[in-house]
C-alpha cells in the first residue's frame, strides 16, 4: 500500500527560508525512508497470482460468462400471443 506524505510549508512570522527548506528536506527524507522500507514483490510473481485468481473466478464473473437466463434483468419478457 502506498501512502504519500506531503510537506505543508507555511511561512509564519520570524520563519526563515533556510528553516523551511530544512523542514521540507527532513520530511522528504522521512518519506523516502518510508518508501524504501516497503516490502516489494516481483511483477512476474504478482502477475502469475493475478492470472490464477482470474482463472479461478472466471465461472462467477458475469462480464466473462454473461448472466444466466433466470437472473438476466435485461432479457425480454416472453408473452403469449393468441391468434
> Which residue ranges make up each domain of the chain?
1-64
pLDDT at 16: 62
Q: Is the pLDDT of residue 1 over 50?
A: no
pLDDT at 48: 94
Sign of CA dihedral 65, 71, 74, 76: positive
pLDDT tens, position by position, 27-62: 999 999 999 999 999 999 999 999 999 999 998 887
Mean pLDDT over all residues of the chain?
A: 78
Q: pLDDT confidence of 14, banded at 50, 70, 90?
A: low
Residue 37, C-alpha cell as written in the block:
522500507
Nearest to 19 by CA among 28, 6, 9, 5: 9
> At 46, is the secondary structure helix, strand, or coil?
helix
Instruction: Please say whether the beta carbons of 9 and 25 come within 8 A.
Output: no
Q: Is the pLDDT of residue 77 over 80?
A: no
Instruction: Please say whether the beta carbons of 9 and 24 come within 8 A.
Output: yes
Amino acid at each position: 500500500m502506498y501512502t504519500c506524505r506531503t510537506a505543508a510549508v507555511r511561512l509564519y512570522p520570524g520563519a526563515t527560508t533556510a528553516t523551511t527548506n530544512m523542514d521540507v528536506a527532513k520530511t522528504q527524507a522521512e518519506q523516502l525512508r518510508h518508501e524504501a522500507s516497503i516490502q516489494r514483490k516481483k511483477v512476474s510473481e504478482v502477475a502469475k497470482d493475478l492470472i490464477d485468481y482470474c482463472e479461478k473466478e472466471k465461472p462467477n464473473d458475469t462480464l466473462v460468462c454473461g448472466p444466466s437466463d433466470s437472473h438476466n434483468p435485461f432479457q425480454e419478457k416472453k408473452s403469449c400471443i393468441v391468434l
